[in-house]
Amino acid sequence: MFVDTHAHLTDERFKGEEKEILEKCRTANVLKIITSGVDYDSSQKALEFAQNYDEVYASIGMYPENIYEFDKQIENIFAQMAQNKKVVAIGEIGLQYTDNMPPREKQKEIFLKQLELAYELKLPIVIHCRDAYGDMIDLLKRNKNLLKYSGTFHCYGGSKEIAKESLKLGFYISVGGVSTFKNASNLKETIKSLPLENLILETDCPYLAPDPFRGRRNDPSLIPIIAKNLAQLKDVSIEEIEEKTTQNARRLFNL
């Protein structure tokens, strides 16, 4: 059995095809999927979706671009939502320092509030990080007391050094379709250097479909392609990848 630890099954691109996609996943032996929110609306939809399908779980949170939505009322709503056993993480939350994003200090403030919320709820976090890995690691190190329930760097794109610092803090690294791209040599070398005990699988669908489907709509049934590539990078069997990444996902998200 494979686990897709990060998907967006409530995306409009899947509308009307949800049952067919989940059937494809069953055929591909992808039997557990975590669908993620990025704001209040998508988090609510993620939980509703998870409640409708036994194999689907939800992650709820406020993505950096949407942090101005986050206030005490939303925080309380997220806390209430997280009482549902189908909510297994807070995320995706994080930092993104690309153009036209909220101010960096505001991003850090809201990330920290959600990190505190996750700690109070005894849930792991799902980190979105783009062009901000140095600040993210510094922030996590300064708040080690809030990391008891761990988390993962979703769709990891940082350096080998940052990855190893993340592992020291107890985090997992999530491996997705980008790891199959021909131009992802640095990421591939980073993945090779990391212990399998700290790796999990994701699609981030409908985005980032693995080769040879790059550029098309992604979905969780393509997890075995990512797993096969990871097996080649780690020089182990795909059966070992399946076993270890599923164990890791179960441990992290209490599936």
CATH number of the domain residue 180 falls in: 3.20.20.140
What is the total residue count of the chain?
255
CB 113 within 8 A of CB 72: no
Say how far apart CA 222 and CA 230 lie, in whole Å: 13
Q: Which helix (H) or strand (E) holds 156?
A: none
Q: Which pTM does this prediction carry? A: 0.97
pLDDT at 100: 94
pLDDT in tens, the chain (255 residues): 999 999 999 999 999 999 999 999 999 999 999 999 999 999 999 999 999 999 999 999 999 999 999 999 999 999 999 999 999 999 999 999 999 999 999 999 999 999 999 999 999 999 999 999 999 999 999 999 999 999 999 999 999 999 999 999 999 999 999 999 999 999 999 999 999 999 999 999 999 999 999 999 999 999 999 999 999 999 999 999 999 999 999 999 999
Phi (first) and psi of residue 101, to 5 degrees: -105, 160
pLDDT at 149: 98
Q: Which helix (H) or strand (E) holds 30?
A: strand 30-36
Buried b (16+ CB within 10 A) or exposed e, 185-206: eebbebbeebebebbbbbbbbb
Structural tokens at position 231: 């097996």
What is the tally of structural domains in the chain? Answer: 1
Owning domain of residue 150: 2-253
pLDDT at 185: 95
pLDDT at 31: 98
